[in-house]
Structure 1
Amino acid sequence: MTEYQGPTALGEDAVAELADRIEGSVLAPDDPGYTGAIAGFNLRSWQRPCLVVEAAGASDVRAAVAFAAARDLPVGVMATGHQPFPAADDFLLVTTRAMRTVEIDAERAVARVGAGALWADVVEPAQAAGLAPLNGSSPQVGVVGFTLGGGLSPFLGRSYGWAADHVVTIEVVTPDGVLRRVSAAAEPELFWGLRGGRSNFGIVTELEIGLFPVTSFYGGGIYFPAENVEAVLRAFPEVVRDAPDTFTCSVALLNFPPVPQIPEPLRGRFLAHVRVTHLGSDEEAEKLIAPFRALGEGILDTIGRHPYGAFDIVHSDPADPFPYEEQGALLAELPDRAVDSLVESAHVAAGGLVTVLEIRHLGGALADRPAAASPVAARDAVFNVWGATVGPPEVVDAGMAMLGGMVERLSPWSTGLTYTNFAGRDDRAENVFTAEDLARLRVLKRRYDPRNLFRVNNHNVAPAQR
């Protein structure tokens, strides 16, 4: 076995041989299409792989991994590229965007999804069968990355738990180039580690995920003007305190830029966005959000009965790529002093460089620990705080310094960990896994990837020492 010495050491003949084995494309830095292939949703994430394999299917993934393993070449994987990770170069990147197959098994209430599938690809056919997945807030987010990071659904999570706990089977190419089909019965330890460990143990090519009998919800969002922001934050704990598991609520402080892409009523304003989803009756939902209604009419109000396929109306996430950094924290409680801190942050954020600061209610089924619970470190948290700054480098850097101060002021109520899918660029495995789970993951890493080839585009789990 030869050790990787840099992109020039690969050799044209070896790359050509790989290309002959690939149904998709193999791209080097000078090839047309390379720049587009490495670009993700987060335009601030820089990476410079020496080769990109645009996989058309599992056989392409196997060939790419075998090629890299034979050369001790680090491997990364990307579908949509939403989460920021440290800059990386001289590695092989496998993109799975073309692998967007979706099959709905209505009888089993299961969806079989390819590695490149988006939530938009799954929700529509699932709804045709009267079912819904544990999806995220945006239809443009990849199913596999979302789920392998734990999968926090702002619609069904408090009712049914983490998406990672409802994975039925996983097809994964491990560092030895073998395509494995794992489940709670077949290689259960690897099945456990993948459902939270992301791409540390291989490249997932397909998932089977559970579906649930939901076809509509009562919810949406209310945008309140700056003068109501403090009142919204103080009403939030009251709204969620005794809420049933069928009800999910979050509040986001938003600095909307003065750009044409933002609707006129919201453009260039600092607002509080109340986000609500309820799987019960309309009347029950309105009773729950009465403290918000008492604040008066919002600038824009989309709360009502919606078909589940319109789930993106709740958070109204942006659809177009942009450069940003993010940071998150998990809170064990939200006492009055913590709310005071959020109010202080709101005053600092108003008209400033922090684009969004959200606090989301967790709990309910998200706190459950099934017999084979996945390594999701957010079960003990009751709230999640997440923020992001968007813009050119100097704006993002200044905004992140401000955001860091806001999150730090909440540290007295923090669990000390961050939810994986809301972690920042500088977060490591120690920040997103409990010490117990990380020790177990490191043993698993030593078994399946002792050379740590899969160390790019993830919160890397180093192999345990013998």
Structure 2
Amino acid sequence: MTATHHPTPALFALSDIHGPVLRPGEDGYAEEVTGFNLAALHTPDVVVGATGPDDIVAALRWASATHTPVAVQATGHGANFPIDHGLLITTSRMTDVRVDPDEHTATVAAGAKWSHVMAAGAPHGLAGLGGTSTDAGVVGYTLGGGLPVLGRAYGYTADHVHSLQVVTPDGTLHETDPVHESELFWALRGGKGNVGIVTSLVCDLLPLPRLLGGGIYCPGEHAEPLLRTWVDWARTVPDQMCSAYTILRLPPIPQIPEPLRGGFWARVAIAWPGDPAEGEALIAPLRTAAPVAVDTVEVMDHAALDRIHMEPQDPLPARESCALLRGLPPEAVRAFLAVAGPEAGPDYPLLMVELRHMGAALSRPAAVEDAVCARDAEYLLESVGVLASPPIAEAVERATAALTATLAPYDTGHTMVNIHGTPGNEQDRARAWTPEVYERLRHDKATYDPENLLRYGHTVTPV
């Protein structure tokens, strides 16, 4: 990377930015810093609402000249702890999506959501590899690897990135791909936001106009037979079959549709991009495992992906965590049910505890090497708790710790950076990568961000 001279701070003024520049107490500040996860209430010294790459360049040059730490937020789905002091750059105004129907690609700006990509691709019969909520931002999701609903069929979203435009902390704009600045390209795909702020990326779109998807819901007291059937069934299904087993304790609030509202449920979520009739035949054993109360599995437009996992659509304060599991032997199934199933009782504080089937395309190396490190997991364990009050927040923390400890004998020792939850010390943060990848990221951090200005969130420590 070409060395850049840093002029005096006076030469870089925040007044050069086209978007809003706000400080605490000013009109619009609170709205600008608030994201989807209300557990992370940010209080930066200044927030810049970027309108394009030039604003991000100007903001980072100012931050570099003034030695001000920096964070970035698009939607706030991935916010895992409050940012205090420093500079927050929001990209929610940068939502442009341009589809190339001949190349089956999309050029996606920094603040675009998956819903924007789905809407742009749908007229061409094309879809992106989004996750369980299309309200999430494309760039942050992809930089963390990106675990798609159709991951077993197509792999990680980061594996499908062609190029990225990124501003490094010194305010330099880079165009990076497998040929140009290949090490920066590697570090961005799976290394999260450790080496720069991405202004746009180019990624694959797939010819996926429709799929078979939805959920098979059983009353929670039947969680055990549904789980045991699903575990046995998952060992036999084709790579294209994507599924997750979930225990849900849903609050009685209007945002949750009837008849699920206020209920205790065991669910298997299904996503199958192949022939619908074949998919229906494959999932038949799940429908006979336990009494089915609600069955939403149907052929749907890919843009309707949200109907599969039915994640909350409104902002809320949440605590998320995950672990990658080597497998689910019978003793692991028993342990999981004991800590999170019916035996845990109606007051168990976690809204959702989920086991996602991994493997297949998620286990294969990317065509162009990246920093994604979750390829050796057979299952992913994820939990979400809503922090409605301090006593509930404490109960969520205890339940999260107990769940993690109970399944620890079966995990790989690693997590996924996007779902890791609140990052702890360096040893805890490093669990999102293998030791070799973590050390490589540390060296890249020293190259592109030696002052560690991008120090908020799930960061690595430069060497």
Aligned equivalents of 1:373, 1:273: Cα separation in 2: 35
Residues 54-91 of structure 1 deviation map (CA, whole Å, 9 limit, x = unaligned): 00000000000000000111010000111243333221
Identity of aligned residues (%): 40
Mapped contact 1:324–1:396 kept (Cα < 8 A): no
Q: Deviation per CA, 1:426-457, whole angstroms, max 9, x where unpaired?
A: 3443120110001101111111111111111x
Equivalent residue for 2:385? 389
Shift of 1:396: 2.1
The yes-or-no answer on 1:188 pairing with 2:186 is: no
Choose which of 18, 24, 27 in structure 2 pairs with 1:23: 18
**1:227 equivalent in structure 2:** 221
State yes or no: 1:260 paired with 2:254: yes
**Partners of 2:283 and 2:336 in 1: how far apart?**
20
Instruction: Name which of 350, 354, 359 aligns with 1:358.
Output: 354
For the Cα contact (< 8 Å) 1:159–1:364, is it kept in 2?
A: yes
Structure 1 residue 280: Cα displacement: 1.7
CA distance in 2, matches of 1:125, 1:238: 39
Read off the aligned partner of 1:125 and give its amino acid letter. Answer: A
Q: Deviations over 1:298-324 (max 9, x none)?
A: 222111211212111100111100011
1:89 is paired with a residue whose SS is coil
**Amino acid corresponding to residue 180 of structure 2 in structure 1:** A
Contact 2:163 2:202 in 1 (8 A): yes
2:369 matched residue in structure 1: 373
CA distance in 2, matches of 1:46, 1:148: 22
**2:80 is equivalent to residue 85 of structure 1:** yes
The Cα of 1:246 is off from its aligned counterpart by: 0.9
| Matching residue of 1:419 | 416
User: Is 1:444 aligned to 2:459, yes or no?
Assistant: no
* Residue 138 of structure 1, CA deviation: 0.8
Q: After superposition, what is the alpha-carbon deviation per residue over 1:168-202, rounded to whole angstroms, capped at 9, x for unaligned?
A: 11000001111111000100000000111221111
CA-CA distance at 1:137 after TM superposition: 1.2
Q: Aligned partners of 1:101, 1:393: CA distance in 2, in Å?
A: 39
Deviation per CA, 1:138-167: give whole Å up to 9, x if none: 110000011001010012x11111110111
Q: What's 1:326 paired with?
A: 320
Cα displacement (A) at 1:287: 2.7
Cα drift, residue 348 of structure 1: 4.3
Structure 2 vs 1, CA of residues 50 and 152 (structure 1 numbering), >3 Å: closer, same or farther? same
DSSP-derived class of the 2:309 partner: coil
Q: In structure 2, what is the Cα distance between the partners aligned to 1:275 and 1:337?
A: 23
Deviation at 1:286, TM superposition (A): 2.3
* 2:141 corresponds to 1:142: no
Task: Output one character per residue of 1:223-254: Cα deviation in whole Å (capped at 9) or x when no partner.
Answer: 21122111111111122102111110101111
Q: In the alignment, what sits opposite 2:399?
A: 402
State the alpha-carbon separation in 1 of the partners of residues 448 and 203 from structure 2: 24
Question: What's 2:454 paired with?
Answer: 454
SS state of the match for residue 199, structure 1? coil
The whole-number CA distance in structure 1 between the counterparts of 2:250 and 2:366 is 40
- 8 A contact 2:192–2:417 mirrored in 1: no
CA contact (8 A) 1:429 1:438 kept: no
Query: Tell me, which stretches of 5 or more residues in structure 1 are unaligned?
Result: 5-9
| Alignment RMSD (CA, Å) | 1.8
What does residue 337 of structure 2 align with?
A: 343
Q: Does 1:163 align with 2:160?
A: no
Q: Is the 8 A contact 1:239 1:288 kept in 2?
A: no
Alignment partner of 2:61: what SS? helix
Q: How many residues align?
A: 452
| Partner-residue secondary structure (3-state), 2:266 | strand
Q: Measure the CA separation in 2 of the matches of 1:212 and 1:364.
A: 18
Partner residue of 1:116 out of 102, 111, 119 = 111
Per the alignment, in what secondary structure is the counterpart of residue 44 of structure 1? coil
Tell me the distance in 1 between the aligned counterparts of 2:48 and 2:405.
40
CA distance in 2, matches of 1:371, 1:300: 40
Name 1:7's counterpart in structure 2: none
| Structure 1 stretch displaced more, 31-40 or 296-305 | 296-305
* DSSP-derived class of the 1:420 partner: coil
- If the length of structure 2 is used for normalisation, what is the TM-score? 0.94
Cross-structure match for 1:239: 233
Distance 1:296 1:88 in 2: 45
